[in-house]
């Protein structure tokens, strides 16, 4: 089976909105999290969706799922104190309730601009290579600096990629890595890709799209709106 694990546990501090977490901000009457979920809901190869959410927002989220006819969600789970702990809560549920050879697609609830091709590529890459890290080339130069902001190195963009999401694995592999991290008290992983690499797994990149942004700041939300508007205009006028 193919299960999507959606992380919706952020509080939106950098968004500057204290009333509502960023995944629940609305564009044209639809919350960001629903834009995200619809991609997985409408994919024929996705069998189920599990969501990790802050405990106090679970009832609100369930009402949204009903309102927008998101029917593949089988469980909404409370998040933990950290992102790593929250993802493990979802991984643990999937490991207990599905075959360990099932594929899990781990995705941010605030990345609503993925598409069906990216989801399909993730599933195929796990079958072919054991993993899938959605990525795209950087468009700007980035550098490595020391603690005094002195430039230590300029990276070759042709040999670099931006890691995005989904990040997908067999459930048995990602479960093992999380359990090992708990045993080792290793809590520094910034995402599933870094966790898997830390424990010796080879991870395979797939090509994504640059607009697959994570909505973290107000400018990200405005970019999201601009892209949605552009797609709407294209659909109307061709």
Q: Collect all residues with Cβ–Cβ distance below 8 Å to 221 and sequence separation of at least 6.
A: 15, 22, 25, 27, 215
132 assigned to a ligand binding site? no
Q: Other CB atoms closer than 10 Å to residue 36's CB: what's the count? A: 24
- The per-residue DSSP string of 197-221 comes to HHTT----EEE--TT-----SHHHH
141 is in an annotated binding site: no
Residue 85 is assigned to a ligand binding site? yes
82 is in an annotated binding site: yes
- State yes or no: 7 annotated in a binding site: yes
- Consult the annotation and say whether 29 binds a ligand: no
Q: What is the dihedral of CA 214, 13, 48, 187, to 10 degrees?
A: 90
Tell whether residue 80 is among the known ligand binding residues: yes
Q: Give the number of residues written for the chain.
A: 238
- Residue ranges at the known binding site for CTP: 7-10, 80-86
Q: Which residues are annotated as a binding site?
A: 7-10, 80-86
């Amino acid at each position: 089976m193919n299960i999507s694990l959606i992380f919706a546990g952020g509080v939106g501090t950098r968004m500057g909105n204290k009333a509502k977490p960023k995944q629940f901000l609305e564009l044209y009457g639809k919350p960001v999290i629903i834009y995200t979920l619809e991609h997985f809901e409408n994919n024929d190869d996705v069998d189920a969706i599990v969501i990790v959410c802050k405990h106090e927002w679970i009832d609100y989220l369930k009402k949204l799922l009903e309102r927008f006819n998101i029917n593949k969600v089988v469980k909404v789970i409370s998040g933990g104190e950290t992102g790593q702990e929250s993802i493990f809560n979802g991984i643990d549920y999937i490991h207990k309730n599905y075959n360990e050879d099932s594929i899990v697609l781990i995705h941010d609830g605030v990345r609503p601009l993925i598409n069906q091709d990216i989801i399909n590529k993730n599933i195929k890459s796990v079958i072919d290579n054991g993993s899938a890290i959605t990525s795209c080339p950087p468009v700007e130069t980035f550098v490595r600096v020391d603690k005094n902001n002195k430039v230590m190195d300029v990276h070759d963009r042709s040999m670099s990629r931006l890691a995005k999401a989904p990040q997908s694995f067999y459930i048995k592999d990602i479960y093992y890595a999380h359990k090992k991290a708990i045993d080792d008290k290793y809590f520094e992983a910034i995402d599933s890709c870094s966790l898997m690499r830390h424990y010796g797994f080879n991870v395979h990149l797939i090509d994504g799209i640059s607009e697959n942004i994570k909505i973290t700041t107000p400018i990200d939300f405005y970019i999201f709106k601009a892209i949605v508007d552009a797609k709407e205009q294209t659909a109307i006028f061709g």
